[in-house]
Structures are given as structure tokens and as C-alpha cells.
Chain A
Amino acid sequence: MFLHILNYVFTEHTFGIIILLQGEKMMEDRIIFHIDANSAFLSWSAVNALQHGAPVDFREVPSIVGGNQATRHGIVLAKSIPAKKYGIQTGEPIIQARQKCPSLLVIPPEYYVYMRCNAAMCDIVKDFSDRIQVFSIDEVFVDYTGMEKILGDAQAVAHQIKDRIKNELGFTVSVGISSNKLLAKMASDLKKPDAVTTLYRDEIEEKMWVLPVRDLYMVGAATEKKLAKMGIYSIGDLANSEVEFLKDKLMSWGEVIWCFANGIEDSPVKPGGAIPYVKGVGNSCTIHFDVEDRETAHKVLLSLVETVGMRLRQGAFCAKLVQVSVKTSELKTYSHQRKFYVPTDCTNAIFEEACRLFDEVWKGEPIRHLGVRVSELCGNDFVQLSLLENNYEKQRQVDRAVDDIRIKFGSFSVFRAGFLHSRLSPLQGGIVEDFPAMTSIL
């Protein structure tokens, strides 16, 4: 609209100056929204069902969205508020959840509904800014900087967005407002459902520092434990620690989380973001002999994960959910899945989890076919800044180097030593599920 034209003129004529100004202004003066759909999968399925005449609103009864009831190892992907009252948790096995609440309603995932809801949510948001980044299927970042001169106060507009989504699309969102993406994301988490919360730099102390350190985005169980040993329990404790001390204990990861605790983060809102259009990356293979030992099975998993990891990284995604599926020589199939607390794109991290899942589910029968699949994708924006728990940082560098070599010299130019003299292929081709047109991007 009006602003686009204006922007263009400016950059045409005073390009250098604008860049300079923005560089200086960037950190403090931006206005960023993070819009997060509340219990997205569950409420989206609920609204869709109501629209098609369902007699109950899933949001008002104990209900969960859970992967595939046929395979008994499905886990809870999302839960209603009444289900939460039974102590049901996201990520726990469905059987366990059913024990807590026998009348539990289990709704299968409906990805086409989720994608439609995501697109509809973005359509509304686009009326308020042209700079939006789809971060995951239920999260959008919006750069509202400059728009306040045309559309008005950020908080009032955030309320408008939230209310329009509620009235037109039938589900609620939480909106966080701040001067960077990380704080906006933390803010949307502070109050839900159906809320607008600000978390500007001068509000950090009062609103964020009081929270346990585990609530800081990207801090998982392993980091939490290490921090506890240093006497750091709250986000405030972390923010007020000596950064040199943290670097000494946790290397560069220490500095990253110290910055986060102090609200320092300056990644731009990247328009586009193809995340919701790909629901997952999967890879599976039929093995030309029956696998009867754990070690060989793990090797096959590694060959599958190698490609999955590479595809994830090429798409600039991280995954929150891993699933392993096994088909025995008698064609019995079962699968097992688990959620990562912190999203990852690291081959070794996915591989370790895949092995753990395999070990838990395999009963020792000869195996004919194995599959690994990651889903619940989100952007890798915060991960990229450095990474991760368990010193995955080095492994990430290795991942990147290996990816580069393979892209340049071919898939088989470098492979893990474990595959030398084995009957197995060191990596198996990856498939991007459901949306073949996307393979060119991934």
C-alpha cells in the first residue's frame, strides 16, 4: 500500500543512509509481534469439527490430538484445558493419558486443517504489515516497525489482530510485543489464551527475570541442571551472572543464553519462511537382508538420519518431534515417537533419539524395513546463533562441513567410518512428505 511505495523511494535514493540509520535504530526501536495460536492443533480441529456440525466442542471436554491410534505408541501432541486438569501432558504416550482419563477423546492429527488455519491467520496478519515470518505452523513473527504511523498504536493493533482471528476464524491467539523476536516470543508465552502482552527491555526485570530459568527459550533440562549447580535458578540469576564465568562453564552457549536472559537478540523478521508447507521430513528403507542385531539396526537408522538431518538444515528448519517405525520380516509394523524439549537440526541429536526410541520398541524380531521421520518443524533462527545442549555446537560445525562437501562432491564423497566394509549404504535418499513441489527448496 502507501508505505510500500514510500519505502521503495527512500531506499532508492538514500540507500546508504537508511542502512546506517537502521543499523543504529535496529536493536531498540523495532516493534515486533509474536502471534501464537493457543493449543493450536486441538482448537483448530475443534473449530473445523464444529463448522461441520460436531455436537461437542473438543476444547470443552477432556481431549487430545494424538498420532495414529493404530500404532499403540502414539503420543499426545496437544491437549485441551479439561484434559490438562487430569494431569495429561504433551509428549506422553496416549495409553498413559487414557489411564489418567478413561473418557478421553483422541483426535487424529489433520494436517490439511492446520495448514489452512495457518494460511488464514497469515492472511489476516498481512493486513497489518508486509513483513511477516512464519516461524512454525502456529507461530508468526510480524515486524510492525514504522506501521504505527499509519495504522496506530502497536498494542491497539495487536488487539485488533487477536480479535479478528477470534471472530473470523474461531480460535484464539496470544500476542507478544517487544523490540526483538526473542522477547516477543517470551511475551506471548506470559499470558494465554486470548491475550496481548508487552515485554519491552525496561519490563524484563519485572516480567521475565522472576521466571525459572527453564522458561527461557532454548534452555532445556541439561542446561537447567548445569545452571542449578552454579546457583542459577531464575532467568534473573542468569542475566545478572558474569558473562565470562558462564562462558568459562558453558563455552559460547553460556554467552548466548546470557544474552537471551538480558533480552539481547537482533535477528531480522525474515519474510517468507516455508515452514508450514512442509509437515515433516521422513526417510525409510527396505533392507535387502533381515537385520537381527541392534548394532546393524542403529547403522541403518544413522544412514536414514544423515539425509533427514541434511534436508532439515537445507530448509533452515529445526524439528520438535522424532518418530521411528519398524517393519518386521513378518510384516508387523510398529512405531514410536518422542518430542524434543529444544528443537534441533543436529544429525547426532536426532540419531541418538532415534536409537533410544528403537531400543525401547524393538522386541528382537528380524527387521525388514526401518523409517525415521521428524516433524513439528520450526525456524532455526535462535538455534543458528550458536548451539546447543550437550555441546552439540561442535557437531553442528561438523554437520555443516559434511553438508558442504556432499553438496559439492556428491552424497557419497564422505561418510561415517562405521559403514566401511558393511553391507549397508552410508546414506539413504530422503523424501519430503506430502508436498513434492517443495523438494527443490529443501
Chain B
Amino acid sequence: MSIKLKALLKSPWVFHFSTGSCNNCDIEILDCLTPRFDIERFGMLLAGSIKHADVLLVTGSCNRMSADRLRKLYDQVPKPCLVVAIGECSMSRGMFIHSYNCPVPLDHIVPVDVYIPGCPPKPEAIIAGVVKLIEKVRSS
């Protein structure tokens, strides 16, 4: 594995994008930053600007308006970058599957590296998902 990827795994800065979630998944993501879970231990920081991000955390069911924006955001992340889908909504559209406004699931819009199920997933589940992602990149 190159030094580039090694350093990336040591300091993944995450950018958090909600494509129309019910806000519960977003709250669980913010919980990961609290003293109880403290993901800065692993070098993770919440990036304010998409240009600083290494990991794109996507929540929500990707409605017609936000699908465009998601695609644009994905094009703006400096590569290499990873995408994490958080919550039932972003995996299969969850309870919005029959909605007129949610035409396709998230992974038809951008390539997704890891899925974290739950409605909403617990902070422990999010951290476990990210650990799986790191292992996946490390073994590839």
C-alpha cells in the first residue's frame, strides 16, 4: 500500500452531506464527535469545505433536487476519496421507497464504498462501519 493511502487512513477528514434525511442520522453522526465517542482519536475531523474532505458521509434518501448536488459534490472532492452511505434511507430509500421524489437509490448516483444500516445507526455502528472501510482499503 502506498504511503498516500496509509496517511489517508490515519487522518480521514469527513464531509457530511444530507440528501434529505429526517435529520436523525445527522444527529447520530454528530454524536460521534462528542467526548463519549471522540473520533478525533483516529484522526477524523469534520471538514467544513468539500475541498478538504477525504470521506463523504451521505445520509438521506436522495431526492430529485439533491441528487444533482450530490453528483456535483462528488466531482469536487479531491481524489482519492471514499463514500459512506449512512442509514436505511441512503441504502434502499427506506420508508420513502414509493415516493415520487426519490427515483433512484444512492449508489446509482455515486459509487459507495461502505453501507451502514440502521434507522438511525448507532454511533457505535458508524464507527464499526468506518473501521470496516479502513480494513477494506488496507487489504486491497
User: Are these two chains actual partners, yes or no?
Assistant: no
